[in-house]
Amino acid sequence: MSTRETSGARSHPDRPLLAITLRLMAMVMLSTMFMLVKLAGERGVSAPEMVFWRQAMAVPLIAGWLLATGRIGLLKTRRVPSHAFRALAGTLGLVCNVTAAMLLPLSVGTTLGFTAPLFAVLITALILRDRVGPWRWLAVGLGFVGVLVITQPADLLHGGIGSLPPIGLAAGLGAGVVVAIVSFQIRDLARTEAPIACVFWFAFFGSLLAAVLLPLFGRPHEAQVWLLLVAVGLAGTLAQLLITAALRHGAVATVVVMDYTALIWATVYGYTIFGHLPEASTWLGAPLIIAAGLIITWREHHLSKRISPTSALDESAAEESLVTTPKMTREPGA
């Protein structure tokens, strides 16, 4: 039985325009979610509390959608421990993403989320000891130059990092590291599990993990704040469903470029709602990080065409995890 069959996924003819449209919509929803996270944070919601409601709301929404479409069987799994371990790492990544969104300008937090592929290459080379060619090393170097431009570490000598809080920057880069780690976990899960099952069990176990901290960080809120938390859960869940749908109708290499449109929406929200325009360092550093991500994506796609069909499927799963994880990527380590 093939990997696709064991995952419960059906073969679909590629519909690139539909896939791109769905991916664009997903980026709008993800950017909206982080904008709502920032608004809720300004109204006293803590990061652990935010993570709990984000995850807890996704569980009934996804289960209800699968029941309504007659596909609840996709959630069947024999790999509960693997899902739980993935949720542990992914929830840490989600905490980092939420913290970055709350403390940093949206454009900066979004840009730092694009560093996940850079860390994935480093893990591949330094920990897994796989060969990494000059193109991907070039991309890593280019991407981290962009990070240095944005974070301006030379300002540390003068007592700070410009106007950006160090904890926010650490959270943004930490999210990139965790998302890269989670991508390898998803690569393993994708061999036997349907993508929507990975999303559901991540939300299920993630909400249980976050619930442990809820008595310490939870607090009463006004009705307006509760509505913001509901909106965060709805936007994040819809984004994950749209990402999953996009990958059913188009190849990763077709849709991945659309992820970078999140920076457009983050900039628009940052200006219209919070009155923040990206600083010059962001305008200079973001293109370098985006270019690095595109080089890595192009190279992985090129290499997948030169290996066996079975290996190509594994490579596709790895690419999918890099794309869907943050934001399911930046989000979550989702």
Q: How does pLDDT run across 82-123, given as a tens digit for each residue?
A: 999 999 998 999 999 999 999 999 999 999 999 988 898 898
Neighbours of 56 (CB within 10 A): 19
CA–CA separation, 65 and 63 (whole Å):
5
What is the DSSP secondary-structure string of 107-146? HHHHHHHTTHHHHHHHHHHHTS-----HHHHHHHHHHHHH
The set of residues, in sequence order, having a beta carbon less than 8 Å from that of 47 and lying 6+ positions away, is 41, 95, 98, 99, 102, 217
Residue bearing the bigger pLDDT, 323 or 291: 291
In this structure, of 9-18, 123-132, 134-143, the range with the lowest mean pLDDT score is 9-18
CA–CA separation, 240 and 193 (whole Å):
16
In this structure, of 190-199, 225-234, 263-272, the range with the lowest mean pLDDT score is 190-199
Going from N- to C-terminal start, the domains of the chain cover 33-329
Radius of gyration of the chain (CA): 19
Q: What is the pLDDT of residue 15?
A: 80
Q: Specify the DSSP class assigned to residue 11.
A: P
Q: Is the pLDDT of residue 320 over 50?
A: no
pTM of the model: 0.81
Backbone angles phi and psi of 193, in degrees to 5: -115, 145
Tokens of 160: 């700070």
- What is the dihedral sign for C-alpha 94, 140, 111, 329? negative
Residue bearing the bigger pLDDT, 106 or 330: 106
Among 315, 322, 23, CA closest to 191: 315
